[in-house]
């Protein structure tokens, strides 16, 4: 079968709209084989998805790599994150960690960037959980990239803390606070603004021990 025969077959099937046909034609124009185009010549893909599959082939990905994301359940943004990971030389094992529809594209981004920034599989798996929103993933990833220990990061790598609360705990560790000092305010009952005040109070006065009751009392008096 020639490429023209393949294009005519797709047009005559009545299953493809003009945007999809255009992507099929562009693949051939850019040197793709019929075998490669067949991977995305599927009417269940919209043209944005087809574009991501086509681009993977044009950027040198193998069929087995492209097939990792050539599934209708991935939207085109998710496909892009998987494609970029493969193009940036992540291993199949690494990409498969996030190549699942349960992660949205923003979550996939943080997992991909973690690997690309040389985090280990063990480190990335600390935040590779769909219960973490992308902002929470960012704070966990940043802590690991800034050489916090696993024990330190695990203090705040908990979905009960929002990203802003996580930031205050990460900043405490990065500013030299001990585990015991950060744990003084690592409590969901403190919002991020309260955490900031407590963190600064601890840093300025080198507080090492104080009950939650006392901290709450000082907050209520605006003494912190």
CA-CA distance, 224 to 197, in Å (whole number)? 6
- The domain in which residue 197 lies consists of 117-224
The mean pLDDT value for 163-188 works out to 98
The pair of structure tokens assigned to 56 is 């993977």
Q: What is the pLDDT of residue 183?
A: 97
Residue carrying the six token digits 């960037």: 113
Residue closest to 137 by CA, chosen among 124, 151, 120, 121:
124
In the chain, the percentage of residues whose pLDDT exceeds 70 is 100
Total of domains in the chain: 1
Residue 28 counted as domain residue: no
Residue 156 has, within 13 A of its CA and on its CB side, a CA count of: 35
The mean pLDDT value for 152-175 works out to 98
The model's confidence at residue 159, banded by pLDDT at 50, 70 and 90, is very high
Residue 44 counted as domain residue: no
- Rounded to 10 degrees, what is the CA torsion of 23, 26, 30, 33? 60
Residue carrying the six token digits 């990792």: 68
66-86 pLDDT, tens digit each: 999 999 999 999 999 999 999
Residue 90 counted as domain residue: no
Q: Do residues 79 and 49 lie in contact, with contact meaning Cβ atoms separated by under 8 Å?
A: yes
Average pLDDT, the chain: 97
| pTM, to two decimals | 0.94
The mean pLDDT value for 36-42 works out to 97
The model's confidence at residue 14, banded by pLDDT at 50, 70 and 90, is very high
The pair of structure tokens assigned to 36 is 């490669």
Q: What is the pLDDT of residue 50?
A: 98
Residue 155 counted as domain residue: yes
Q: Do residues 168 and 196 lie in contact, with contact meaning Cβ atoms separated by under 8 Å?
A: yes
Q: What is the pLDDT of residue 149?
A: 98
Residue 81 counted as domain residue: no
Chain centroid, CA 59 distance in Å: 22
- Binning the chain into helix, strand and coil, the percentages to the nearest 5 are 60, 0, 40
Q: Do residues 53 and 66 lie in contact, with contact meaning Cβ atoms separated by under 8 Å?
A: yes
The mean pLDDT value for 175-201 works out to 97
Q: How far is CA 149 from CA 29, 186, 190, 191, 202, in A?
A: 51, 16, 24, 24, 21
The mean pLDDT value for 18-42 works out to 97
Residue 126 counted as domain residue: yes
The mean pLDDT value for 80-102 works out to 98
Tell me if residue 132 falls in helix, strand or coil. Answer: coil
Residue 56 counted as domain residue: no
The pair of structure tokens assigned to 94 is 């690494």
Q: Do residues 222 and 197 lie in contact, with contact meaning Cβ atoms separated by under 8 Å?
A: no
């Amino acid at each position: 079968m020639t490429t023209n025969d393949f294009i005519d077959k797709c047009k005559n099937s009545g299953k493809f709209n003009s945007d999809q046909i255009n992507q099929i034609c562009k693949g051939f124009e850019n040197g793709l084989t019929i075998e490669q185009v067949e991977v995305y010549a599927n009417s269940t893909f919209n043209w944005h998805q087809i574009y991501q599959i086509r681009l993977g082939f044009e950027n040198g990905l193998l069929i087995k790599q492209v097939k990792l994301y050539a599934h209708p359940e991935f939207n085109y943004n998710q496909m892009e994150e998987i494609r970029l990971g493969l193009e940036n030389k992540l291993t199949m094992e690494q990409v498969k960690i996030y190549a699942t529809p349960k992660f949205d594209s923003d979550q996939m981004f943080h997992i991909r960037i973690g690997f690309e920034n040389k985090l280990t599989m063990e480190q990335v798996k600390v935040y590779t959980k769909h219960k973490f929103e992308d902002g929470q993933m960012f704070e966990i990833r940043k802590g690991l990239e800034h050489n916090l220990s696993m024990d330190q990061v695990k203090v705040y790598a908990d979905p009960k803390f929002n990203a802003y609360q996580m930031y205050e705990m990460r900043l405490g560790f990065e500013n030299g606070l001990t585990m015991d000092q950060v744990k003084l305010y690592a409590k969901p009952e403190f919002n991020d603004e309260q955490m900031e005040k407590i963190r600064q109070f601890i840093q300025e006065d080198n507080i090492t021990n104080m009950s939650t009751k006392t901290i709450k009392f000082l907050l209520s008096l605006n003494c912190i």
